């Protein structure tokens, strides 16, 4: 039997949307632009959490997002410096703003 490359899970993160509304502690953030062929890269981040979350039968603690308000918040120099020095940020949740089309990080 021949397998397809798509049969293998090679990603190191999943969408932050998979854990919307769940509380987590941020222990790391790195820039991770999303690039779609023929389009300009869209700013994004990968968030490493202290907690593990089971999604589709697998444990995850790295989540990617291009949600503008979340990306903007997590590119703040003070937040990045605190995380780089070993500080943790949390507990936070990613929640949709009622009546709006965007998500924000809020203290849990």
- Tens digit of each residue's pLDDT (9 = 90 or more) over 3-59: 665 555 557 899 999 999 999 999 999 999 998 888 899 999 999 999 999 998 999
Classify residue 99 as left (phi > 0), alpha (psi -120 to 50) or beta: left
Is residue 46 in some structural domain?
Answer: yes
Distance in angstroms (rounded) separating the CA atoms of residues 54 and 35 = 27
* Residue 103 within any structural domain of the chain: yes
Q: Distances from the Cα of 9 to the Cαs of 42, 46, 69, 84, in angstroms?
A: 23, 17, 29, 29
Task: Read off the pTM.
Answer: 0.86
The parent domain of residue 50 ranges over 12-34+42-107
Please check whether residue 2 lies inside any domain of the structure: no
84 domain residue, yes or no = yes
**How many domains does the chain fold into?**
1
3 occurs within a structural domain:
no
pLDDT tens for each residue of 85-99: 999 998 999 999 888
């Amino acid at each position: 039997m021949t397998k397809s490359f798509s049969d293998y899970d090679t990603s190191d993160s999943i969408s932050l949307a998979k854990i919307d509304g769940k509380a987590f502690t941020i222990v790391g953030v790195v820039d991770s632009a999303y690039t779609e062929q023929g389009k300009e890269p869209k700013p994004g981040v990968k968030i490493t959490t202290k907690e593990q979350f089971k999604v589709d039968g697998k444990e995850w603690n790295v989540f990617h997002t291009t949600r503008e308000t979340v990306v903007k918040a997590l590119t703040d120099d003070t937040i990045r410096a605190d995380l780089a020095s070993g500080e943790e940020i949390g507990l936070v949740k990613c929640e949709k703003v009622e009546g709006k089309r965007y998500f924000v990080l809020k203290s849990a």
